[in-house]
Chain A
Amino acid sequence: MSDTHAESVAYVRDTMLPEKEPPGREVGAIKWMRENLFSGWFNAILTIVSLYVIGWILLHLAPWFTHMVWNAGSLSECREIRDELWGPDQTFSCFAVIRDRWQQLLYGFYPAELYWRANLAFVLFLVAIAPVLFSGLPRKMLYFSVLYPFVMFWLVWGGSIWLPLMVIAGFGLGALAFVLASRVNGLVAVIVAALVPVLWWLYLAGPIATDLQRIAPLAIQQVASKDLGGFMISLILGITGIAFSLPLGILLALGRQSDLFIVKGICVGFIEFIRGVPLITLLFVASLLLNYFLPPGTNFDIILRVMIMVTLFASAYMAEVIRGGLAALPTGQYEAADALGLDYWKAQRLIIMPQALKISIPGIVNTFIGLFKDTTLVMFIGIFDMLGLTNAIRATTDWNGIYWELFIFVGVVFFVFCYSMSRYSQYLERKLNTEHR
């Protein structure tokens, strides 16, 4: 060693060592297999057993994919084709049912000539969600995202355009009331801003919309809620649930941490109650019980009731997920925000929530996915979602006795959407990671 004085006890380094590459690793398939599959005799046995099991399963599934029937009008026709091509008693799959009934599975009993409206609503949904998901897109697109719920409502349900416009007007009135009342007092402004739109929607919006419709008829063909179904209803329920449960969950989580006794009590009570009750119970309440409590003659749309229940259910879970994120933040963040003179809401919005939500992303998306899949439970209260329709399709003489193909289709459709959400959440986590960038 020429650069050190190794011969003496006292040691002085003359030159600092340069940085070196880590030792090169041998690469290749054999190396990989030895490390990952056969690293010991026990692991080798496990590998062989696993391979055998996987092979066995694939072998038994294979006829399903090699013997597919896509062109048939009924299950018996499917069987005839099977007998002809592969002989009787062969395992086979009859995906002809999907070909025959896919529109029903997706759109429910929505009038076929109006499918374009549902399709348009879906395409516009993609446009509306894009700027929310990807910050690279122009921020002006968010205006459309805000308007989208009303556009969707009108496209899907149809009817007079004045009703959604009057609902929007309610928000406008609320904002106006807030601006006017905030000259008096902050708290009064909040109360007025909440009260004015509610009163407007309850008592004025409906009659005014009817009158306007009489004066200037602007309407498209109306579709009743009972005709909605299929995957469309899952999407509508899922999207509204996701869109509203997150903000509601944030408020509940903040309320639960609040120093104000009553606010805290209400939030804790709500969260614990909702979490303690199965969703299906809440759905039955929505479909059956709610009518007893409402004044007779009130027509409170079943889909709207279900939407509210699903949203409330998800928001209770959301609140707990976000509370976890809040608890993970060091108190120093609150103190620093306070010390800089930020008030509570600004601190929450700019400092606390961005970090707490980032920590909770996996849990939030988990809740979203759960909520989305739970929308299939509405089949138990008489709404024909995809699962409900599989029963209906099976009930016809043509397709009596078909199970797997329908369920596989339902599974694939849900998987595509849920897996996309999962991938997006991973992308978001990577994007928001500010450590060691």
Chain B
Amino acid sequence: MSEPALDQGPDRIDLEVSDEIAIQIVNMNKWYGTFHVLRDINLTVNRGERIVIAGPSGSGKSTMIRCINRLEEHQEGQIIVDGIELSSDLKNIDKIRSEVGMVFQHFNLFPHLTILENCTLAPMWVRKIPKKEAEETAMHFLEKVKIPEQALKYPGQLSGGQQQRVAIARSLCMRPRIMLFDEPTSALDPEMIKEVLDTMIELAQEGMTMLCVTHEMGFARQVANRVIFMDQGQIVEQNEPEEFFNNPKSERTKLFLSQILGH
């Protein structure tokens, strides 16, 4: 895998992490039918943490973060987000979902709505914010991801990188306290990966709590305060990025790193 431009310059982001717990996952297990996808996951995320989750495909990384906003249902154990435990109670689920932003691999913008409407829809219908205010917020975040001039276009008219930045802005418009990224750059051309990563770095600098499934190891080195390595539905190793990359402990991690960084 080619390393993007991130490795060259910018210094590592080192921000204080608060003691307050944002997400707590305790002994979580999940099955698809009889297939045991997630096994005894234990993870505590403090507010302000920037966690990168890596691992081979099929290792359960995406499934794990999708459990955090209940796009996937877990069968055993506890997931507590912002002090609310995820159960089948629909009210709790909707509440957590409106606090937790998510960015998808394939952007999943709403193609029948303009960029601006994509960004104002959830604030207006979930948070009941007046249209004018929602539009101001939307423009604020669109400026932040550097595409305010596209506000009145439709998603189909934008490039992949621009669409992904809109997707980030759309999530931010809900003013989430936690952001989940599910392979946000995997569907992008190499030229567009950087613009999306830059947006994410900026977000990290502002102290957003982030969980990010990605193969961008440069991003992990620069932004993450913790890297988690998963394999076969289990957390195999987690450490600070320096230690993780320079001094991996488990054989499985070493093999993985040699494969993705080796050439």
> Residues of B contacting A330 with CB < 8 Å?
106, 108
Interface residues on B, range: 20 to 34
Q: Are B125 and A350 in contact (CB under 8 A)?
A: yes
Partner of B98, one of A335, A341, A354, A355: A341
> Residues of A contacting B100 with CB < 8 Å?
339
Q: Look across to chain B and name the residue whose beta carbon is closest to the beta carbon of A354.
A: B112
Q: Are B126 and A437 in contact (CB under 8 A)?
A: no
> Residues of A contacting B143 with CB < 8 Å?
none
Q: Are B108 and A341 in contact (CB under 8 A)?
A: no
Q: Is A113 positioned at the interface, with any CB of B under 8 Å from its CB?
A: no
Partner of B122, one of A333, A341, A354: A341
Q: Are B90 and A343 in contact (CB under 8 A)?
A: yes
Q: Are B108 and A332 in contact (CB under 8 A)?
A: yes
Partner of B102, one of A339, A342, A435: A339
Q: Are A338 and B90 in contact (CB under 8 A)?
A: no
Most buried by A among B101, B106, B122: B122
> Residues of A contacting B155 with CB < 8 Å?
434
Q: Look across to chain A and name the residue whose beta carbon is closest to the beta carbon of B71.
A: A335
Known A435-B156, A436-B156; contact A343-B94, beta-carbon cutoff 8 A: yes
- Tell me, in angstroms, the Cα distance from A355 to B111 when the chains sit together: 8
> Residues of B contacting A350 with CB < 8 Å?
121, 125
Q: Is A340 positioned at the interface, with any CB of B under 8 Å from its CB?
A: yes
Partner of A339, one of B71, B125, B156, B157: B71
Q: Is A58 positioned at the interface, with any CB of B under 8 Å from its CB?
A: no
Known A332-B106, A436-B156; contact A340-B112, beta-carbon cutoff 8 A: no
Number of A residues near B (Cβ < 8 Å) is 22
Q: Are A341 and B112 in contact (CB under 8 A)?
A: no
Q: Is B79 positioned at the interface, with any CB of A under 8 Å from its CB?
A: no
Q: Are A336 and B126 in contact (CB under 8 A)?
A: no
Known A341-B174, A358-B112; contact A434-B154, beta-carbon cutoff 8 A: yes
- Tell me, in angstroms, the Cα distance from A261 to B219 when the chains sit together: 46
Q: Are B157 and A436 in contact (CB under 8 A)?
A: yes
Q: Is B228 positioned at the interface, with any CB of A under 8 Å from its CB?
A: no
- Tell me, in angstroms, the Cα distance from A335 to B180 when the chains sit together: 13
Q: Is B177 positioned at the interface, with any CB of A under 8 Å from its CB?
A: no
> Residues of B contacting A175 with CB < 8 Å?
none
> Which chain A residues (148-188) contact chain B, with CB distance < 8 Å?
none
- Tell me, in angstroms, the Cα distance from A434 to B115 when the chains sit together: 12
> Residues of B contacting A435 with CB < 8 Å?
111, 154, 156
Within the complex, what minimum Cβ distance (angstroms) separates B29 from chain A?
22
Q: Are A351 and B110 in contact (CB under 8 A)?
A: yes
Q: Is B194 positioned at the interface, with any CB of A under 8 Å from its CB?
A: no
Q: Look across to chain A and name the residue whose beta carbon is closest to the beta carbon of B118.
A: A336
> Which chain B residues (65-104) contact chain A, with CB distance < 8 Å?
69-71, 90, 94-95, 97-98, 100-102, 104
**C-beta contact mask, B165-200 vs A, less than 8 Å → 1, else 0?**
000001100100000000000000000000000000
Within the complex, what minimum Cβ distance (angstroms) separates A432 from chain B?
7
> Residues of B contacting A332 with CB < 8 Å?
104, 106-108
Q: Is B109 positioned at the interface, with any CB of A under 8 Å from its CB?
A: yes
> Residues of B contacting A31 with CB < 8 Å?
none
Q: Are B106 and A342 in contact (CB under 8 A)?
A: no
Q: Are A355 and B122 in contact (CB under 8 A)?
A: no
- Tell me, in angstroms, the Cα distance from A343 to B125 when the chains sit together: 10
Known A332-B106, A341-B174, A436-B157; contact A355-B112, beta-carbon cutoff 8 A: yes
Q: Look across to chain A and name the residue whose beta carbon is closest to the beta carbon of B94.
A: A341
A sample of 27 cross-chain residue pairs with beta-carbon separation below 8 angstroms, ordered by A number, consists of A332-B104, A332-B107, A332-B108, A333-B108, A335-B71, A335-B104, A336-B108, A336-B110, A338-B69, A338-B70, A339-B69, A339-B71, A339-B97, A339-B100, A340-B121, A340-B122, A340-B170, A341-B97, A341-B122, A342-B121, A342-B122, A342-B126, A343-B90, A434-B112, A434-B154, A434-B156, A437-B156
Q: Which B residues are within 8 Å of any A CB, using their own CB?
A: 69-71, 90, 94-95, 97-98, 100-102, 104, 106-112, 121-122, 125-126, 154-157, 170-171, 174
Closest 4 CB pairs of A and B: A341-B98, A336-B108, A332-B108, A340-B122
Q: Which A residues are within 8 Å of any B CB, using their own CB?
A: 330, 332-333, 335-336, 338-343, 346, 350-351, 354-355, 358, 432, 434-437
Additional pairs, 10, CB under 8 Å, beyond known A336-B109, A358-B112: A332-B107, A335-B108, A339-B102, A339-B171, A341-B98, A341-B122, A341-B174, A343-B90, A343-B94, A346-B125
